Amino acid sequence: MALLAVDDVSRRFGGILAIDHVSFNVEEGQIVGLIGPNGAGKTTVFNLITRIYRPHGGDIRAGGKSLLRMAPHAVVSRGIARTFQNLALFTTMSVRENVLVGGHAGPVFARESVLRNRAAEVLEYVGLDELADRPVQGLPFTTLKRVEIARALVSRPKLLLLDEPAGGLHHEQVGELSRFIRSVRDDFKLAIVLVEHHMNLVMGVSDVVHVLDFGRKIASGTPDEVRKNPAVIEAYLGPEDVHEPA
């Protein structure tokens, strides 16, 4: 049974199909890349999985059970956590307080002392322990990205959805992020779905890549298979990127 199954899902905006009968699975321990041009529907898929949007067709299942009747705030109880392309943090709260929000939203009730210990462990893991009591307002964008990841991890998810985690990073930092994503998968024993425009990152860390174009899935496969797919080359990568090393 797949950890997550997106099954023939469609979503309309103003009569236009933004997501057009998209299907894919995520298995335990996988890193799955979801790529496509701007406006292809990648973040919309995340919003459908986390119930921010309702699909107009199809089903989304976690552990074999449909998510479609759940309230958005309850999705985390099924072991799904996410970050956002546009940061969604509480700017008047500290780094620690923002991370604790993820703990309070987790699938299993825990005492406050347990959550605070868990938050401290995650903050140390992502390298933010020295900033724990700083307000998030005014911190660098790349630091705020790590706060979001920490908030997601403290809920102990089985599936982590990362929406453009490489935004604002330079080349060397992207390499560090690649190693970090693998470590998170291994250390927290979870699966990851990665939406990202940085192709070296996606192709370097993903076990499977799915490609969207105008809301439709046009290709799936290993990074090498996707990189060589003619439809992907035409729609997204471009011939000059075909031999770019992962």
Query: Residue 114: which pLDDT band, with cuts at 50, 70 and 90?
Result: confident
Contact 79, 62 (CB under 8 A): yes
Amino acid (one-letter) located at 86:
N
Average pLDDT, the chain: 90
Q: Which H or E run contains 110?
A: none
Query: Residue 44: which pLDDT band, with cuts at 50, 70 and 90?
Result: very high
Output the pLDDT for position 102: 86
- The residue that leads in pLDDT, 60 or 237, is 60
Residue 117 pLDDT > 80: yes
pLDDT in tens, 146-155: 999 999 999 9
Name the residue among 166, 235, 169 with its Cα closest to residue 203.
166
Output the pLDDT for position 243: 42
pLDDT in tens, 13-43: 988 999 999 999 999 999 999 999 988 999 9
Output the pLDDT for position 97: 94
pLDDT in tens, 181-206: 999 999 999 999 999 989 889 999 99
Output the pLDDT for position 15: 85
Strands (E), the chain: 4-13, 16-26, 31-35, 57-62, 65-66, 80-82, 159-163, 191-195, 208-213, 216-221
The position carrying tokens 């011939």 is: 239
Residue 222 pLDDT > 80: yes
Within 8 A by CB and 6+ apart from 30, the residues are 3, 191, 192, 207, 208
Output the pLDDT for position 73: 85
Percentage of the chain modeled with pLDDT above 70: 93
Residue 105 pLDDT > 90: no
